Chains A and B, each alone.
Chain A
Amino acid sequence: MSRTDTPTTAEERFARAVRPEKPFNRLRLVVTVAVVGGFLGAALTTDANWNRLLEAPEALWRIATLMFSQLSLADLPRALSFMWESVAIAWLGTMIAAALSFPLAFLAAQNISGRVSVGITRQLLNIPRAIPEIIFAIALIPIFGLGPLAGTVAIGLSSTGTIGKLSAEIIEGCDSGPVEAADAAGANRVQRVRWGVIPQVMPEIIAFWLYRFEINIRASAVLGVVGAGGIGTLLQQSILYNQWGAAGMALIVVVVATILIDALSGYVRRRIIRGPKGRAAKDPETSASAMV
């Protein structure tokens, strides 16, 4: 909107022109009031010890220096073996969830199953989606005892909901062409799914399994806090007994291992989705369907 110094007719018209007023945006006002009001309301009424907030950066810094000044390589093997256990819990849990959710996904897909089956299965899948892994873990520990088995089953059950729902959505989004072709060739229900649906949806579903595995690593890293195995146990114990060096090493191992596995799994996921020749990518992480 730069104005030149030489007056022209266009310039004169510009000078006379009145900028339109910004329209009053009621939604904006409502949202602003709701967000600011909600924030202040919650902050003022909550029982949090706000005067300790100012101490937080200093305390965190103190802990960080304690952790990283006492690092010792002697703690590394133990941290690695606990992390390996966490990864194993996440992997086996994801396998359980994949096995449980795969048939359920077809029962919950509208283009495959009847309305009753879809309704019931959807509700069934909603329950584990809403309950955090740790609730499953505390309920399973009295059953399976302290240790990785409880964590594995907890991860398996709680991921079944998300994986099942997402797989059902992928199945519903599949191209109907091959399904009709299978029908035309005289396929029955099972054959239609086997030859018309599964070949199309498998890459996306497997990519989502892998994505969920990445999420489950984060989940299994914390399950140890309640005693369900994995590196959470090591972290909590070492913080509890002020063994800051061991805690720092465990934290580093968690961060580095998660980033590495994310990168590896992300590469495999993209390769699965794109295929060898590089088809259009539909990565679960970047599509909106990741929001589950």
Chain B
Amino acid sequence: MSRTVPGQRSSTTTARPKRPLPSPFVIVGVLSVVAITLAMGMDWRYGIGFSLTQIWEGLTRPNAPMRGLANIDVAVLLGERARDGFLETLQMALIGTIAGAAVALLLALFNSKLGAPNRVAYAAVKLFNNVIRSIPDLLWALLFVAAVGIGALPGVLALFFFSIGVVTKLTSDTIDGIDHGPVEAARASGASHLQMLRTAVVPQVLPAYTSFTMYCFELNLRASAVLGFVGAGGIGAVINFYRNLGQWDRVWGVVLGFLVVVILVERMAMALRRRLL
């Protein structure tokens, strides 16, 4: 440990302890991160050919979206098309969230070891929910547009399934962590499984569940800007309309309005959530 290094002041100063080597986990982790990044970024068969110079060139070249951003047209928000788009977005998000969250409360009970009546139901619900959750909102919309045609309906259905996935996952995680006292009390006083869920589990998770539902509403509001790109209605359809016309000043006007709506809803939800929890 105490090597004598030339220039060290005196033998009485204690030598600095050697730095421990990083753990194998860290070494392997850092190496694989570097390897993955290089493999994915390079311009070869398994990479996407990522280059910073290309990004710089793209950004410094004059382009339509940026020109539109400089001349942003806010007046478009007063038009009928934008107003209808926003209204439809709100309606879609409301219906999808409320219907999805209602189903999710039931599924969440089954999705936790405590609430599931038996192991088969638990495994089945867990698998179902994992599959639902791994399909993104836009893919749901693609499927439903193919199934029921374009309009608000496929959008509502997409948000419905998307909400089920999100709320079920978050709520069942909360159920796993609840206090078991009330559960035992309910069982001791002879409650059936359903009565136990109703009186011991649901009241405990209700504040968190409400908060997750509101969070999901925010997500759905944001998602509804996306659904319109595949024909599932909402404000996304309006954005896509102006984009296809190349009217970027209007695109940015609608996006700005959308941003304001999202931030307002988020603020309101935050205030409500603070009172709930």
B147 touches A63 (CB 8 A): yes
Contact segment of A18-26, A112-120, A180-188, A214-222? A214-222
B138 touches A142 (CB 8 A): no
A239 touches B263 (CB 8 A): no
Task: Report the count of interface residues on B (CB-CB < 8 A).
Answer: 76
**B3 on interface, CB distance cutoff 8 Å:** no
CB 8 Å contact bits of A215-239 with B (1 = contact, 0 = none):
0001101100110010010011001
Q: For the complex, what is the distance from the CA of A218 to the CA of B240, rounded to whole Å?
A: 21
Q: For the complex, what is the distance from the CA of A163 to the CA of B82, rounded to whole Å?
A: 31
**B7 on interface, CB distance cutoff 8 Å:** no
Interface size class of A (residues with CB under 8 A): 35 or more
A85 touches B230 (CB 8 A): no
Q: For the complex, what is the distance from the CA of A272 to the CA of B163, rounded to whole Å?
A: 30
Q: For the complex, what is the distance from the CA of A169 to the CA of B61, rounded to whole Å?
A: 37
A222 touches B134 (CB 8 A): no
Nearest opposing residue in chain B for A206, CB measure: B29
Q: Which residues of chain A from 113 to 165 have any CB-CB distance to chain B below 8 Å in the complex?
A: 126-127, 130-132, 134-135, 138-140, 142-144, 147-149, 152-153
**A6 on interface, CB distance cutoff 8 Å:** no
Residues on A with beta carbons closer than 8 Å to the beta carbon of B258: 130-131
B65 touches A143 (CB 8 A): yes
Nearest opposing residue in chain A for B224, CB measure: A132
Q: Nearest-CB distance from B197 to chain A (Å)?
A: 19
Contact segment of B42-50, B72-80, B115-123? B42-50
Q: For the complex, what is the distance from the CA of A137 to the CA of B229, rounded to whole Å?
A: 12
**B157 on interface, CB distance cutoff 8 Å:** yes
B148 touches A84 (CB 8 A): no
Task: Please indicate which of the listed interface residues A48, A148, A255, A262 has the most CB atoms of chain B within 10 Å of its own CB.
Answer: A48
B144 touches A56 (CB 8 A): yes
**B105 on interface, CB distance cutoff 8 Å:** no
**A279 on interface, CB distance cutoff 8 Å:** no
**A33 on interface, CB distance cutoff 8 Å:** no
CB 8 Å contact bits of B23-67 with A (1 = contact, 0 = none):
101000100000011001100001111100011001101011110
Contact segment of A36-44, A68-76, A193-201? A36-44
Q: For the complex, what is the distance from the CA of A140 to the CA of B236, rounded to whole Å?
A: 17
Contact segment of B9-17, B85-93, B106-114? B85-93
Chain A contact residues: helix, strand, loop or mixed: helix
Nearest opposing residue in chain B for A292, CB measure: B215
User: Are A143 and B262 also in contact (CB < 8 A) when A42-B91, A232-B138 are?
Assistant: no
Residues on B with beta carbons closer than 8 Å to the beta carbon of A55: 147-148
**A92 on interface, CB distance cutoff 8 Å:** yes
User: Are A39 and B98 also in contact (CB < 8 A) when A149-B48, A258-B134 are?
Assistant: yes
Residues on B with beta carbons closer than 8 Å to the beta carbon of A88: 40-41, 46-48
B149 touches A52 (CB 8 A): yes
Residues on A with beta carbons closer than 8 Å to the beta carbon of B233: 47-48
Q: For the complex, what is the distance from the CA of A209 to the CA of B95, rounded to whole Å?
A: 32
**B182 on interface, CB distance cutoff 8 Å:** no
Q: For the complex, what is the distance from the CA of A144 to the CA of B170, rounded to whole Å?
A: 37
**A49 on interface, CB distance cutoff 8 Å:** yes
Q: Nearest-CB distance from A71 to chain B (Å)?
A: 16
User: Are A130 and B139 also in contact (CB < 8 A) when A42-B94, A52-B149, A56-B157 are?
Assistant: no
**B146 on interface, CB distance cutoff 8 Å:** yes
**A29 on interface, CB distance cutoff 8 Å:** no
B142 touches A239 (CB 8 A): yes
Residues on A with beta carbons closer than 8 Å to the beta carbon of B5: none
Q: Nearest-CB distance from B30 to chain A (Å)?
A: 11
A218 touches B50 (CB 8 A): no
User: Are A153 and B55 also in contact (CB < 8 A) when A56-B148, A131-B259 are?
Assistant: yes
Q: For the complex, what is the distance from the CA of A45 to the CA of B225, rounded to whole Å?
A: 20
B40 touches A92 (CB 8 A): yes
Q: Nearest-CB distance from B39 to chain A (Å)?
A: 8
Q: Nearest-CB distance from A82 to chain B (Å)?
A: 11
B48 touches A222 (CB 8 A): no
CB 8 Å contact bits of A167-196 with B (1 = contact, 0 = none):
000000000000000000000000000000
**B153 on interface, CB distance cutoff 8 Å:** yes
A92 touches B41 (CB 8 A): yes
Q: Which residues of chain B from 118 to 154 have any CB-CB distance to chain A below 8 Å in the complex?
A: 130-131, 134-139, 142-144, 146-149, 151-153
Q: Which residues of chain A from 1 to 44 have any CB-CB distance to chain B below 8 Å in the complex?
A: 1-2, 35, 38-39, 42-43
Nearest opposing residue in chain B for A43, CB measure: B95
Please list the residues of chain A having a beta carbon within 8 angstroms of any beta carbon in chain B: 1-2, 35, 38-39, 42-43, 45-50, 52-53, 55-56, 59-60, 62-63, 84-85, 87-89, 91-92, 95, 126-127, 130-132, 134-135, 138-140, 142-144, 147-149, 152-153, 218-219, 221-222, 225-226, 229, 232, 235-236, 239, 251, 254-255, 258-259, 262, 268, 271, 276, 285-286, 290-291
Seed contacts A149-B58, A236-B142, A239-B146; 14 additional CB < 8 Å A-B pairs:
A43-B95, A59-B147, A60-B144, A60-B147, A89-B48, A130-B262, A131-B255, A132-B225, A135-B255, A147-B48, A226-B229, A254-B139, A268-B29, A290-B170
